[in-house]
Amino acid sequence: MSTELPLRRLVLRLTLVVVAMFGFGFALVPIYDVMCQAFGINGKTAGAYTGAQTADAAREVRVQFLATNAAGMDWEFGPQADQLSVHPGASTEIRFVAYNPTDKPMTAQAIPSVSPAKAAAYFHKTECFCFTQQVLQPGERIEMPVRFIVDRDLPADVRHLTLAYTLFDITPRQPPVATLSATAAKESLQ
């Protein structure tokens, strides 16, 4: 009686549900990314911004810059200024400095995060060293620019926001090519 057609069809359907749910687990990855950008979960910011805005001279927002090295990352890494006051809509540039004090060429990836999370969706980067990976030769020092616009629609109660970068050593994953110059970093996966 276990060979009845309805049973076979039922089991087949249930198996399809199982396969679909396994796929759904993986589908959660892109869904999560979309949700993150919509709601600023984890302070995630979008990729390169191509729009342009006019400055709102009547309003000022304090933007703070943080730099953190992930465990095992020996570079010196930090912003040239701790904070800037900007007008929403205006395009502003800040430079981060990185120095490789080790005796090996290394590849690094910086990951941006904005706090408070609700401001993340209003923080646009038109140019960022985090869009690419950075390769530094032993003893090499570079300045890396970030150009950003704080959206004019930033909620009124947000008076300050923090842009934090965490620098990860990804040398084992992306071995640096010794001849590659530091500025000609490869396009990242992002």
User: Which residues make up the interface to another protein (CB under 8 A)?
Assistant: 1-2, 4, 6-7, 10-11, 14-15, 17-26, 28-29, 32, 36, 39-44, 62, 64, 66, 68-71, 82-83, 109, 111, 113-118, 157-160, 162, 164, 166, 168-170, 173, 188-190
Work out how close the CB of 144 gets to another protein at its nearest, in angstroms, rounded to a whole number. Answer: 17
Report in angstroms how near the CB of residue 18 gets to another protein at its nearest.
Answer: 5
Query: In the chain, at which residue ranges do the beta strands (DSSP E only) sit?
Result: 61-69, 76-79, 83-86, 91-99, 106-115, 123-128, 134-136, 141-150, 160-169
Residue with smaller CB distance to another protein, 42 or 54:
42
State the DSSP code for 117.
G
Please name which of 48, 66, 61, 47 lies closest in space to residue 162, comparing C-alpha atoms: 66
Taking the complex as a whole, the smallest distance from the CB of residue 99 to another protein amounts, in Å, to 15
Nearer to another protein, 9 or 104 (CB): 9
Q: How many whole angstroms separate alpha carbon 138 and alpha carbon 140?
A: 5
